[in-house]
């Protein structure tokens, strides 16, 4: 919601009748923002896209947390506990005997 804080007042309330639903009251901060039908449609479309984008990023962040933690740990490790993979470098499939 902070993306819109410069130009818009946004009030979020829980929906009085439906659990897990929210009511949004969005109003311009300035009288300079004219609100014709096309601008409102464009704003609503952009707002929904931004909310969906944020939700998708949140899901991905949660699902990849362990991988991210492993990568950070590996990046900052000294390497003393690293193990060499079994086999020869030239024979990574282990087919040559």
Does pTM surpass 0.85? no
Q: Is the pLDDT of residue 80 over 90?
A: no
- Domain residue ranges in the chain: 1-33, 34-77
When comparing pLDDT for 63 and 27, which is higher? 63
Q: What is the pLDDT of residue 43?
A: 84
Q: Rounded mean pLDDT of the chain?
A: 83
What are the tokens at 23? 């009511």
Taking Cα atoms as reference points, which of 48, 33, 35, 70 lies closest to residue 3? Answer: 48
Q: Which of 43-52, 70-79, 85-94 has the lowest mean pLDDT?
A: 85-94
pLDDT winner (highest mean) among 7-11, 31-35, 55-59, 83-87: 55-59
- Average of per-residue pLDDT across 50-55: 93
DSSP 43-84: HHHHHHHHHHHHHHHHHHHHHTHHHHHHHHHHHHS-STT--P
């Amino acid at each position: 919601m902070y993306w819109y804080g410069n130009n818009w007042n946004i009030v979020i309330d829980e929906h009085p009748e439906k659990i897990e639903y929210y009511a949004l009251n969005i109003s311009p901060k300035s009288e300079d923002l004219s609100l014709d039908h096309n601008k409102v449609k464009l704003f609503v479309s952009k707002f929904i896209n931004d909310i969906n984008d944020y939700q998708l990023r949140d899901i991905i962040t949660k699902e990849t947390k362990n991988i991210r933690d492993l990568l950070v740990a590996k990046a900052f490790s000294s390497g003393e506990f690293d193990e060499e993979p079994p086999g020869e470098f030239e024979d990574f499939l282990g087919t040559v005997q």
